[in-house]
Amino acid sequence: MRGFKAFLLRGNVVDLAIAVVIGVAFGVVITAFVKDLVTPLIAAVGGKPDFSSLYFTINKSRFLYGDFIDVLLAFVLIAAVIYFFVVVPYTALVERSRKEPPADPTTKKCTECLSEIPKDARRCAFCASPQTAPA
């Protein structure tokens, strides 16, 4: 029993359980958003929000291709909502926070010919003019 308790209280098991619960809740929110807001918008433009009644029959067997269209459309819409409302903003936020301070310059411009020379150079390698001592 002690080993089982240690297993359950490990950080990664608890983190995984929390991630699953939050993932399910997030999935419900995204599904509701698509079903209640995005699909009616598409229906307002396209005219038909539900394709489940579409089917064809071969040898008394019904092929409900409308259900497949509904599921496929829901998948594409959910993927688009997740990408545009979660992935893109999250990526922008991460990129903004990763801005590194500029590195110390290792070169400077020659005061005479404006060539790139090492920061600590006392004479330009291109025009041989003396340079001021680095500060």
- Reduce the secondary structure of the chain to three states and give it as a string: CHHHHHHHCCHHHHHHHHHHHHHHHHHHHHHHHHHHHHHHHHHHHHCCCCCCCCCEEECCEEECHHHHHHHHHHHHHHHHHHHHHHHHHHHHHHHHHCCCCCCCCCEEECCCCCCEEECCCCECCCCCCECCCCC
DSSP bridge pairs for 58: 61
Rounded alpha-carbon distances, angstroms, from residue 94 to 7, 23, 81, 82, 88 = 33, 20, 19, 17, 10
pLDDT at position 71 over 90: no
Q: How confident is the model at residue 30 (pLDDT cuts 50, 70, 90)?
A: confident
How high is the pLDDT of residue 68? 86
As a whole number, the mean pLDDT across the chain is 83
Superfamily of domain 2-97: Large-conductance mechanosensitive channel, MscL; domain 1 (1.10.1200.120)
How high is the pLDDT of residue 11? 67
Average pLDDT of 116-131? 87
Rounded alpha-carbon distances, angstroms, from residue 110 to 22, 87, 103, 105, 134 = 59, 46, 20, 14, 12
Query: Which residue did the predictor score with more confidence, 47 or 96?
Result: 96
Q: Among residues of the chain, what percentage have pLDDT more than 70?
A: 93
Q: How confident is the model at residue 12 (pLDDT cuts 50, 70, 90)?
A: confident
Average pLDDT of 79-93? 88
Contact 25, 72 (CB under 8 A): no
d(CA 85, CA 118): 47
pLDDT at position 88 over 90: yes
Average pLDDT of 103-131? 85
